[in-house]
Structure 1
Amino acid sequence: MKRLFSILLAGVLAAGLVGCASSGTDSAASHIPADYTAALADSRTEEDNSNYTIFTLENGGYTASKGYAEHLDSEAIASQGQMSLDVLGLTTEDVESAAYSVSLMNVKAYGVAIVKPAVGKTDAVKEALSGFIESQKSAQENYLADQYAIAKAAKLETLKNGEVVLVMCENQDQVFQSIETALK
């Protein structure tokens, strides 16, 4: 009887270890978008984190954090996540995964995004984000000089790992450096 109990206990422990290993694998597979979201949130001021929701797109689905995310249901997250993606000029076909935050009002030149382009879509992503920058410059040029300066100084770069990063906000250089460091 003791022998049977020992064998059963060993089996339960082995199954537990296998379960832990497989859940660790799942976590690693979905780790990139969480890193993107954390990289954006950690690079921004508390004020920006309070005011601007970060939308994350992965596998065609949206999640939201920061800003007013806690007040959104899943339908509103999907709708506003898609609307913000549209504002950036991107389509879901262009994006493997992304975290992004934009101002949907034309009184603020604000957009921060980390985009992992879908295979073969890097140029399309860069073109779309360049278009977003140009539209923000055009919208602010004769309207709000300080916001035009922010739009004009926007940073758009492709990192070594292939992510395309857009930073259009106050303290752009500092925010970009923080994102770049977080993604190394």
Structure 2
Amino acid sequence: MKRIFCAAIAALTLFSFTACQKEPAPKEFTAEKLKPIFQEAITAARDEEINQVLPILSSSEDEGGALIFDMVGLTDEDIKAAGISISPMNIKAYGVAIIAPAEGKTEAVQTGLDNFVKAQQQSFANYLPDQGEIANSAILTTREDGIIVLVMCEDAQTVYDSITATLDEKLK
């Protein structure tokens, strides 16, 4: 009887220990690992014409990067890793960004992207109404893993779904 009792206690203890263990923390990805994933996610979500016309930037040091980073109110210090593609001309409401904020910079990145969207909405409110609708339909979210995604373009939901599917696959 003692053996059965001891075996039951041991089994219960083992069960309790394994049941209480937390899920492993998500992998910590470096900026070097994230940048190509972000670029791949954006590239796969867009058509070839947009991919050729609007480059994907990861730093203000990239060609045209200073202008784009200024448009979204961000600096390199705000970002751990990024893929940002924005129309620099005020004839198209277009912005796609995937950003892993630097530590302590989540709010700054969210605010910068939100201000960019609001500026686009204002800019197109009475000028090019079709672009105003695109700006008003922008999607700006922060994922559970802390990555911030902005999609402001035609068929935004489809582009967003494609980006998040790629991120989910590559970051697991």
Alignment TM-score > 0.5, same fold: yes
1:51 maps to which of 41, 50, 53: 53
Aligned length: 139
Correspondence 1:98 to 2:74: no
SS in 1 for 2:57: strand
2-structure distance, mates of 1:82, 1:117: 18
1-structure distance, mates of 2:151, 2:80: 19
2:156 maps to which of 156, 168, 172: 172
Larger Rg: 2
SS in 1 for 2:149: strand
Cα displacement (A) at 1:46: 1.5
Flag the 1:142–1:31 CA change in 2: closer, same or farther, 3 A: same
Q: What is aligned with 1:143?
A: 127
- Paired amino acid for 1:54: I
Q: What is aligned with 1:32?
A: 34
Q: What is aligned with 1:134?
A: 118
Cα displacement (A) at 1:105: 0.6
1-structure distance, mates of 2:126, 2:146: 35
Quick check: 1:84–1:102 contact (8 Å CA) kept in 2? yes
CA displacement 1:103-153 (0-9 Å, x = unmatched): 111010000000100101111111110000000011101000100000000
Quick check: 1:126–1:164 contact (8 Å CA) kept in 2? yes
Quick check: 1:159–1:180 contact (8 Å CA) kept in 2? no
2-structure distance, mates of 1:61, 1:159: 26
- Paired amino acid for 1:141: A
CA displacement 1:47-77 (0-9 Å, x = unmatched): 21122111123xx754xxxxxxxxxxxxxx2
Quick check: 1:109–1:169 contact (8 Å CA) kept in 2? yes
Q: What is aligned with 1:162?
A: 146
1-structure distance, mates of 2:91, 2:32: 35
Cα displacement (A) at 1:160: 1.8
1:182 maps to which of 161, 166, 171: 166
| TM-score of the pair, normalised by structure 1 | 0.72
Percent identity, please.
Answer: 41
Flag the 1:141–1:35 CA change in 2: closer, same or farther, 3 A: same
- Paired amino acid for 1:91: T
Quick check: 2:95–2:151 contact (8 Å CA) kept in 1? yes
